[in-house]
Amino acid sequence: MDIKENGTTISLIRGDITLESTDAIVNAANSRLAGGGGVDGAIHMAGGAQIMEECRSIGGCPTGKAVITTAGLLNARYVIHTVGPIYKDGRHNEPELLESAYRSSLELALEKGLKSISFPSISTGAYGYPANDASIIALKTILEFTKANPGKLELIRFVLFSDQDYNTYSESLKKLLKTARKTA
């Protein structure tokens, strides 16, 4: 599914983020930048040791923030490592921290002058964030960002690892666009 909002193409695809050739891919990291399973494990595995070396020298990243490294052997130029919240019950600042993880990643991409970026579904694997709630936050943050920074990023891709996640994000995007059109 592809849409264009405020000069930015937003694409939802089902796939593996390590195969992306956007300027940056985003990693759902932990605050020690120590590597792990899920998308983090896949990125370090495919990207080689260079990425971990840079993560070690950066040292860590607070939840809701983002840091950047080169992308080693990957097709992308950079990896933006962000740390989403561990979901408890939704009343421990999880929505704000998840929004902040997406926003910090987008801001870092702008600071670096990048034009395209690919996101995974941050926090919805090992960190347990319900995918439906997370998808609304993710997409809303991106739509707001394109409104505040029209045309600055040419392409924002969501690379969803399962059909179920792809369907969840597609439904959420349709819902958000409907609401936006009504209130416009």
Active centre residues (catalytic):
40
CB of 139 to ligand AR6, least distance (A): 15
CA–CA separation, 131 vs 170, rounded Å?
12
The stretch near ligand AR6 (CB under 6 A) out of 104-112, 116-124, 149-157, 176-184 is 116-124
Site for ligand AR6 in 39-78 (CB under 6 A): 39-40, 42
Under the criterion CB under 6 A, does residue 116 sit at the interface with ligand AR6?
A: no
Closest CA to 116 of 148, 81, 151: 151
CB-CB contact of 30 with 83 (8 Å): yes
Specify the residue, 31 or 147, whose C-beta has the smaller distance to ligand AR6. 31
Contacting ligand AR6 (CB under 6 A), which of 1, 2, 7, 16?
A: 16
Concatenated DSSP letters for 109-160? HHHTT--EEEE--TTSSTT---HHHHHHHHHHHHHHHHHHSTTTSSEEEEEE
Q: Which residues of 76-97 are buried (b: 16+ CB within 10 A; e: fewer)?
A: bebbbbbbbbbbeeeeeebbeb
Contacting ligand AR6 (CB under 6 A), which of 13, 52, 110, 126?
A: 126
Q: Give whole-number Cα distances, 3 to 7, 8, 23, 118, 171, in Å.
A: 10, 8, 19, 15, 13
Under the criterion CB under 6 A, does residue 124 sit at the interface with ligand AR6?
A: yes
Under the criterion CB under 6 A, does residue 127 sit at the interface with ligand AR6?
A: yes
Under the criterion CB under 6 A, does residue 120 sit at the interface with ligand AR6?
A: yes
The stretch near ligand AR6 (CB under 6 A) out of 12-20, 53-61, 62-70, 108-116 is 12-20
Q: How many residues bind ligand AR6 (CB under 6 A)?
A: 24
Q: Which residues bind ligand AR6 (CB under 6 A)?
A: 16-18, 28-30, 36-40, 42, 84, 120-127, 159, 161, 165
